[in-house]
Amino acid sequence: MAEFLIIGGGIGGLAAALALQRIGRQVAVFERSPVFGEVGAGLTVGPNMLHGLAWLGLAEPMARHMMIPEHGGVMDIATGELLVSNRRGPVPAQRYGQPYAQVHRADLQRVLLDAVRRNDSSALHAGHALTGLSEASGSVTAHFANGRAVQGGFLIGADGSRSVVRDVLFPGHPPVFTGYVAWRGLVPMARLGHVRFFPDSAILIGPGRSLARYRVRQGELLNYAAFAESSEWAEEGWSIRSGLADLLDRYAGCAPVVREIIEQTPADQCFKWGLFDRDPLPAWTAGRATLLGDAAHPMLPFLGQGAAMAVEDAVVLARAVAAVGDPLAAFQRYEMLRRERTAFVTQASRAAVREFHSPDTRGYDPGRHRDAESLGIFAFNPATAPIHVA
């Protein structure tokens, strides 16, 4: 019987597993998909997240996969005009002790998987879709669609914004469509060799739509995420193949570089999904189970902090377990330590898209710009943040 059952084998679940292994606890990770693997494309990795990954022992492998942009910026999606410029390169590392970078999600997933597997090759269990939980004195049992029932001491729900664990523990809080549809794509830079990208990491904004783009895989691929307002979302799933014609139609009238990026996207590398949100819960912990990452605090992607908050959660949770000893008391402390920060980032992410999609694009200036750095989010270090309560 593993001490900690972790439901969800994405970035948050694997980070939690590795964090608990680091303090000498036994874990078992259960992923609903038939194999462990991260869908998706690029991911922003800020200094706060990198501090957490370094505490997990992943500084060296992460350095091999990260792209560190020299400049960041905000641009007018209609004209391509640069509205706000941010110096990146060595500056964030000098300010915060870690750089600002981008990485392919699959590369980060692989780094986490390899580390968990090295610690315990029997810890990972794919093809386990959770259907329910039950508690007895001193244990919790996870019930799966494949017929297995697995007993453990404690359980962590890290199964994303549509968390089954959350729905079992706290029913009656369904996700709500936000009015935004997202697309993601990966374009080989060889197809865009004639295009000059400055700044090398940027978000292009305008009324009702935006597009973020940056390079991953040692500069071989351009990752983009496009967001457009929509009155409804009827399709099931959060990652559905999309034809380029629909996306080009949505982004008609944009700067030529935007259309060039979309047109050069390989047909099998464009996906779409509806963005759904949930209001914060009054509590994350019930009995011997707690929530982590998007299962606890679903986060819109407009500040690029969803994965970072999950990694921060994992590190703080493990440090609380190490400091307190009793996991039940540690769950309560972890929740208390994380609630205010994650609520702030959740609300700031909601506010960011309203600014990005404002009708007054020309009026967007450095004084109005709010990002994870200007909001102070980068300055947090989950490896050194106080764990003890006065």
Q: Where are the alpha helices (DSSP H) in the chain?
A: 11-22, 47-55, 59-65, 91-96, 105-119, 164-169, 244-250, 256-263, 306-324, 327-356
Identify whether 214 is a catalytic site residue. Answer: yes
Token pair 């997202």 in the structure block, residue: 182
- Cβ atoms of 160 and 14 closer than 8 Å: no
How far apart CA 65 and CA 122 sit, in angstroms, is: 26
**Both tokens assigned to 175:** 């996700």
Token pair 């060039």 in the structure block, residue: 260
For residue 41, with 0-12 CB atoms within 10 Å meaning exposed, 13-18 middle and 19 or more buried, which class applies?
Answer: buried
Going 27 to 106 to 98 to 202, the CA torsion angle's sign is negative
Which among 96, 100, 180, 214 is annotated as catalytic?
Answer: 214
How far apart CA 221 and CA 209 sit, in angstroms, is: 23
Instruction: Determine the distance from the C-alpha atom of residue 354 to the mean position of all C-alpha atoms in its chain, rounded to a whole number.
Output: 20
DSSP code, position 1: -
Token pair 């404002």 in the structure block, residue: 358
- Partners of 84 in the beta sheet? 74
Instruction: Determine the distance from the C-alpha atom of residue 294 to the mean position of all C-alpha atoms in its chain, rounded to a whole number.
Output: 8
How far apart CA 13 and CA 23 sit, in angstroms, is: 16
Pairing mode of beta strands 289-291, 149-157: parallel
- Cβ atoms of 48 and 100 closer than 8 Å: no
- Cβ atoms of 141 and 149 closer than 8 Å: yes
Instruction: Give the SS3 label for residue 267.
Output: coil
Residues with a known catalytic role: 214
